Each structure stands twice: as structure tokens, then as C-alpha cells.
Structure 1
Amino acid sequence: MRLSVIGCGYLGAVHAAAMASIGHEVVGIDVDQAKIDRLARGEAPFFEPGLNEILAEGVASGRLTFSTDMAAARGAAVHFVGVGTPQQQGSYSADLTYVDAAFASLVHQLRPGDIVAGKSTVPVGTAARLAELVAPTGATLVWNPEFLREGWAVQDTIDPDRLVAGVPAGAEGERAADILREVYHTAIAKKTPFIVTDYATAELVKVAANAFLATKISFINAMAEIAEVTGADVTQLADAIGHDGRIGRRFLGAGIGFGGGCLPKDIRAFSARAEELGKSESVAFLREVDAINLRRRDRAVELTLEALGGSAFEKRVAILGAAFKPHSDDIRDSPALDVAVRLHGLGASVVVTDPEAIENARLAQPQLEYIADRDEALRDADAVVVVTEWEEYRHQLNPAHAAELVKGRAVVDGRNCLDAQAWRDAGWAYYGLGRPRV
């Protein structure tokens, strides 16, 4: 099938390459000429495991092309729209400028019978409004939210845990759903659940999922706050309650909290939309979810100051991690980089290392020092702060080896991802979030 993908950022580039990898003919369209040039050479403009391989293969095969001209979308049977919906400045609401611009441009290329599949995360009610824009062309709008995890996005696109299609009522909607089943033929063949619903439900599925995940993370971080004043160990607490099948252990990792380009802005936009609908009380808890999340960054800074003897002034602090999560170079709303900047503001000499995110971090926060080599970043540090749980910090960093490099053997485990006893046995003062002191 011939497909177009409007918007070649994180979502769109992965979707375009993944669809080409399962046999479709795909054109990716974006207004950013530099981005399009890189993609057309088979080069991903960001780090995502597995993307470079399927991108290069798709371009080489001729099934995957890129353009800045919206006219290149003409002739596609399905048009996926995956442009960004950032948080508005000075507001919690989602900024739909890019979504509206994409649809306004795309409608001139649509033919009767085409399917337009919205993938952007939007406030509930957006699809119904955009359907009125698409209807005069004879095309059909569906809402097909994405559920990608950065670091696993290629896998999540090709082999998702579920597919959701919000469609109009009647035969038009049934036809649109059938066409989407053809698009996702490899996943359908594996019996992936394919849920057909109305527009509003499809929009809510995405934001409700993100709100639930954010709430689960902030719940265990709230328990960490209680653990810190009672002497309990939040990691043992999480293990114990995680054995309950109704709760589960995933997303119960206490630490400095979530960040990135999705969870923070999505729960804020959900709160703003609920307020517009006159139901702010229904999701009022999300404000506290957000507040708990931000407090854990404060706590990481407090623990680092404690590890430094009360003052960061002219102390050298090694920050292990800049990306908001491992397997990514994304520094949007990164708790790791936020902690680094705060410590720098308190007078510390901060050196940041990360396997993939250094260049992005340097562009965003040039006042910090960056060293790619982990061991060099550790050298002569008065304290070490682990803020992104990359494998090379969690399991490949030997505490005895690290002790030979640093000036002060104090480690703040911002992700509770280290073996606390192993670090203590190597002579380190270990500081975990929500974990008792020894």
C-alpha cells in the first residue's frame, strides 16, 4: 500500500521507516529541509535503537522516500499525521498549531476514499473538529494513537501490544478500519488486539494511558517520601506490592521521576482539557502527580548537598546521564539535566556524561562541562550522581574501580538502580531516594 507520513520527528520518522520495513511504499513529509536531507540519506536525526538499520534499508530499497513538498502525499491511500503537540507557553494546554497547519495543507492533496490517520496526541474533541475539515474532500478521518516507548519505538511500531482506531459511525468507519487492518497486516497476523472505537475514546486512550503511568510513578515516589522519614526501604516496598498481580512491579521504580516529551506535557494538557470541559475535579489528582514528580528532583539535589558536606560551592560533581531515560538521546524535560543545572547554580563544578545525549545537552545547557568518557568524567569528583539508568552505569560500573578515580567516595543513586551493598562494601557513602541510611 502507498502511505504518506506527515511530520518526520520522533514519531513520524519511526513510523515511516517501520511501515516501509513491512513492505509498504512510504513517503515522509516535513517542512524541515535539513531533517529531510538526513532522512533521505538513510540517517536518523536522533538516536533510537534499530532505527538506522530499517531507515537505511528502506531508502536503499526505494520503498521509503522523503520530501518537503506536501504534494508528494498525493496518491497515497493512507496519510498518517504525526506532528508535535507541545505545551503552550504560559499554559498547560496543548499547542495544536502544527496539527492544524498539517491538516490545512494536506486537505488539498486528498482524494475521495483516502484515509487520514491522526497519530498525534491531542485533546479530546480535536478529531471531531478535524473530521469536518477532511469531509468535503471525500476522505475519511480516523484517529490511530501511538503508544511508543522511546528506546523501543521500532519494536512498538512493528509489533505493538495493541492497535486503536477511532472511526466515524457506519459503513464509512467500517471501511476505514478494514484499511488500517491492511496497513498493520503483520501485527494483525500475530493476533494483536485491534480496538475499533469512536474518535473521543481513541483520543482518551492515549492520554489516559499516559496519566495512569505517570500516576503509578508518582505514587511510588510519594511512598519514597514517606519511607525517608520512617526508615523504610521503598525498593523493598515496591517489590512486595509488585507481587500483587493487580498492581505489578513495572513503573514502580522510585527515583528522580519522569520527564521527556510525552508524560509531563500530556498530563498537563489533559488537566487543561478537563478544566475546559468543566470536569477539572475528575483529574485534579494529576496536579499532585506532577508536583510529586518535580519534588523528587529537589530531593536529589538535597541528597547531593548532603553528600558534599552541606555545600556544592567549588565541588566537582560527576553527573552520570543527561537523557531523560536510557536508550535515548532525548533531553526534553530531562530530570537528569535539570539536577545538573541546579547543582551548577549552587556553585558546583558539574561534569556531565551520557552515551548518546551529550550533543543535545550541550546545545541546551552549554554552561555545563561535558565529557564523553565515563571514567574521565568520574576523575577527581567529590560526588557522583547517577540520574539516567544506562546499563553502563547500573551494571558495568565497578564501584571499586570508580573509587580509584574519584576524590570523594559519595554516590547519589537518583534511580535506585545500583547495588547499594556493593557500593558500601567498596567504601562509598551511598545515598538512595526513599532508602534507609547505613
Structure 2
Amino acid sequence: MTIPYPSTTPAAVTPPSGAARPRLTFLGTGYLGATYAICFAELGYEVLGFDVDKAKIAMLSEGQVPFHEPGLDELLRKNLASGKLRFSTSYEEVADFGDVHFICVGTPQRADGMAADLSYVESAVTNLAPHLKRKALIVGKSTVPVGTAEWIEQLVRRHAPADAGVEVAWSPEFLQEGFAVEDVLRPNRIIVGVRSEWANAMLYAAHKGVFDLAMTEDREVPVVVTDFATAELVKVAANAFLATKISFINAMAEVCEAAGADVTLLARAIGYDPRIGNKFLRAGVGFGGGCLPKDIRAFQARAQELGAGEALRFLHEVDLINQRRRQRVVQLAAELLERPYGPAGPDLSGVRVAVLGATFKPNSDDVRDSPALSIVRKLARSGAQVNVYDPEGMENAKREVGDVSYTKALTEAVAGADLVCVLTEWEEFRNADPQALGELVAGRKVIDGRNCLDPVVWTAAGWEYRGMGRPVFS
């Protein structure tokens, strides 16, 4: 079976290190870099992960993944034992080892605006480049503003030895937290932005393990070879589209609430249209995490710099819709608890609220820009006594919001609660027995912030149920 690769498959290339396959390094061992490093070792490559954080490198070297991602711990320990995978804090070691260096550092939102902070990218490149004594390929994976790859080329020209022949390429990532191992080993596409046939051939060789696995499973891996700018835009454009789709259905939820309609049935109906599809059409408290919120803001900022700000003005409303859904939970809490809601919000003094979920999505411990924690803050500011429970994100949540209570079990969280808010759709919450929980609470009132519960079952168990964009069930 032929794996789609534009024009013809690149000619075989000998890695500058002389190894049979390119030796790969991943600079930055946060969620992105550690996941890729571990999975590419699983594909048979010799891999070196790098970070300036000595504690993180020590954990990984001891076989401990510093975040929750299903299946990754086992792969880490397996590939450490095989010798395919190592970790280091030395730029010199990285430069001496690698043929292809993937930049996987964070690009958070700047503190002084919406633009992306590229200081970690700059630090990684300028510290690596002086140590590159032979030809190598530096490949960006981090999500960045368009134009970053050309800037990195300038950094390389200034900092790398002139005779080393170091080149730059771009290959964005498309990881979904909770499914990241599958996304690396079996990607739905690979994008490569290159300027030379050598860079194209090196990236093909660096991904041949992915293609070989696909061939054994009779799958195809589409590959798009393009220029730098297009490769950089693919990730932010994809995230902007997904954010828009989520906010669209949440906007429809607002209309449904006003009209007495059910947004879950509306989403199902329009999702049958193949031009629309049903993915990302679940109304709720909106999107969060370390990617979508900051990426759509950085995209707007960069478009403004390029003189194309008007083209992305709609993303501002996408962001506003997303924020409004968080406040809507507080409004629903006031309605259910029969508390007045004024300009400053409701007075929830003395009310015990159980919040189920702290992470921005299930199967993750990531609480960055989590809608659940944003709502926790709003409830606490309204005077409520908040108890939070999450299967994986408790420690991270405590560091983000320290002035509320945390419990170690679902039953502890709901005990004596006047209101239960389900804000992350963990299976533990979806499958919870409403009759059993009803015996523990002070009041059978529930807000389904993710529309993941069965309202018929919960109301039959005596609960007052409120969903997002759903009518009142009785």
C-alpha cells in the first residue's frame, strides 16, 4: 500500500550522525515534548528528551510521567529499559546526539496582551544552535504565530556555526489530551513545512516509523508538504475552527434556553448533515485547556499585526460566548437555590455546593484555563462553600484555586450539599447512581454543565435537573 506523500516519496537520506535512522531530540518535556519523545522511542527511534527543569528530567528518567495521560507511563518505562529513550538537561549532549531537533516548548499568552510569548522558543533555539557542529534539522512543533519559522532561521544564522549547514522546518502537532498516544502513533495527518529536498527527506525519515506502522495496519497517513507560513497556520486555523464550532452550539444553547428548546436534540439533528458533522457540537460550559483559548487570542493578535485583523474579528465573539457559559452556571445556581441575582451576581452565602470536575476535559489532569475552576472561583466569590472532587486533577487544582475545599471521593464531595454541579464529564460522574447520591445530599438539585447526565433518570430519582440549553425536566 502506498502512503500518500505529495509527488514522490523523498529519496533515502543518510542521517548526519551516521546512524541507520535519524536520531531525534525533543526540546521541552512538558505535555507535548514528553509525549512525542516517548511515543517515537516506541516507534523504534533513538530519542533524547531535553528540558531545563532538572526535577522534571529526574522524574522522567526514573520512569514517572509528570502529568496524566492514559497509556504513557507504561511506554515510558518500557523504552527507558530498552535504551531507546534518555533524558538530559545538557544542550551540548542534545546537539551531539541528534539529527532532527523538535522544538516542543510552551508558547503561552503574553501577560501584557493576547499575543503568544515566544521567549521559550527563542531560548531553546539560541542555546542549542551554538553547539551544532554538523548538519541538523530544527523542526518547530509548538503552536506559534505565522512568521515564526522565518524568525527562527534568522536566529540559527546568527547563533549556529556558519559551516554546519543547519536547516529549519515546521511540523505542527495535533494532540488531543486523553488520546495523545494514539494521536502520535496513528496521526490523522502529518504537515511538514520545508524549504529544501534534504529537509523534506529528513522529516520523511523521522516519520517512517509512523508510516511503517500504518502499513502493517492497512491505513493511510495523509501528508501535506507546504511552505512555512501554511504549516504554521494549519494548527491555529484548526483550533480556531473547533473553538468556533463549540461556541456556535453554545450560542444555540442560549437561544434554546430563551425559547424552551433542547440544544442536545438540536445538535443531534444538525449533526446528521455531513457538511456539519456531530463532533464538537456538545453544548456545555465551553472550551478550556492550554491550547484553544490562548491560540485563538494569539491568532487574532497576529492577524492584527499583519493588517488582517478584520478577518478574525469573529473570534472575539467566539471567546465571549465561551466566557458567558461559565457565568450561566452561576445564574442557574441562583435559580435552583431561589436566590436573587443582582448586578454583582447572586448571594450564595451559606450554600454548600459540590463541584464534580476540575480539569478542562476528562482523562487528563490539566486545569489550564479550565471552565470548571473558573466556575469554582465564581461560586466561591458569591459566598458558596465549595467542595471539589476530580479523579485526576486535584493537586493541580489546589495550586490554581486554594481557597476552597477538596475531597478525595465523589461521595465525600456531595455529602450535605445543597447543589451538585457536574463540570467535567468523567465516566465516574456520568455513571453515578442518582438515587444513591440523593441519600447523601441536603438538597437534590443538580446542574449538568456538560449535558452528560440522563435527565430522565435523575429527575425520576427526585432531583431538580438543569442542563445547558435544555428545558426543565419534570
**TM > 0.5 fold call:** yes
1:383 aligns with 2:419: yes
Q: For 1:335, which of 371, 389, 399 is the aligned residue?
A: 371
Counterpart position of 1:289: 318
**What is the CA distance between 1:348 and its match in structure 2?**
0.6
Distance in 1 between residues matched to 2:197 and 2:370, nearest whole Å: 45
Q: For 1:4, which of 22, 25, 50 is the aligned residue?
A: 25
1:180 aligns with 2:202: no
Alignment of 1:301-380 (within 5 A): 301-310=330-339, 311-380=347-416
Q: For 1:134, which of 156, 162, 165 is the aligned residue?
A: 156
CA 1:132–1:176 in 2, change beyond 3 Å: closer, same or farther? farther
The one-letter amino acid paired with 1:416 is: N
Q: Is the 8 A contact 1:322 1:337 kept in 2?
A: yes
SS at match of 1:228: helix
Q: Is the 8 A contact 2:211 2:221 kept in 1?
A: no
**What is the CA distance between 1:72 and its match in structure 2?**
1.5
Identity of aligned residues (%): 53
Counterpart position of 2:113: 91
**What is the CA distance between 1:187 and its match in structure 2?**
5.1
Q: For 2:66, which of 45, 56, 59 is the aligned residue?
A: 45
Counterpart position of 1:171: 197
Q: For 2:76, which of 46, 55, 61 is the aligned residue?
A: 55
SS at match of 1:324: coil
For residues 284-319 of structure 1, the C-alpha deviation after alignment (integer angstroms, 9 at most, x for no partner) is 000000000000001011101212221421110000
Counterpart position of 2:173: 146
Instruction: Show structure 2 runs of 5+ residues with no match.
Output: 1-20, 340-346
Distance in 1 between residues matched to 2:204 and 2:77, nearest whole Å: 30
CA 1:187–1:100 in 2, change beyond 3 Å: closer, same or farther? farther
Q: TM-score, normalised by structure 2?
A: 0.90
**What is the CA distance between 1:183 and its match in structure 2?**
5.5
Q: Is the 8 A contact 1:340 1:350 kept in 2?
A: yes
The one-letter amino acid paired with 1:378 is: V
Counterpart position of 1:280: 309
Counterpart position of 2:43: 22
Counterpart position of 1:233: 262
Q: Is the 8 A contact 1:22 1:186 kept in 2?
A: no
Counterpart position of 2:124: 102
Distance in 2 between residues matched to 1:373 and 1:75, nearest whole Å: 46
Instruction: Show structure 1 runs of 5+ residues with no match.
Output: none
CA 1:142–1:87 in 2, change beyond 3 Å: closer, same or farther? same
The one-letter amino acid paired with 2:97 is: G
The alignment yields a C-alpha RMSD, in angstroms, of 1.2
For residues 146-172 of structure 1, the C-alpha deviation after alignment (integer angstroms, 9 at most, x for no partner) is 00001111111111111110001x434
**What is the CA distance between 1:389 and its match in structure 2?**
0.3
The one-letter amino acid paired with 2:106 is: G
The one-letter amino acid paired with 1:375 is: T
Q: Is the 8 A contact 1:85 1:95 kept in 2?
A: yes
Distance in 1 between residues matched to 2:212 and 2:205, nearest whole Å: 13
SS at match of 1:236: helix
Q: For 1:407, which of 442, 448, 452 is the aligned residue?
A: 442
1:418 aligns with 2:453: yes
Q: TM-score, normalised by structure 1?
A: 0.97
Counterpart position of 2:229: 200
User: What stretches of structure 1 move > 6 A for 4+ residues in a row?
Assistant: none
Q: Is the 8 A contact 1:160 1:187 kept in 2?
A: no
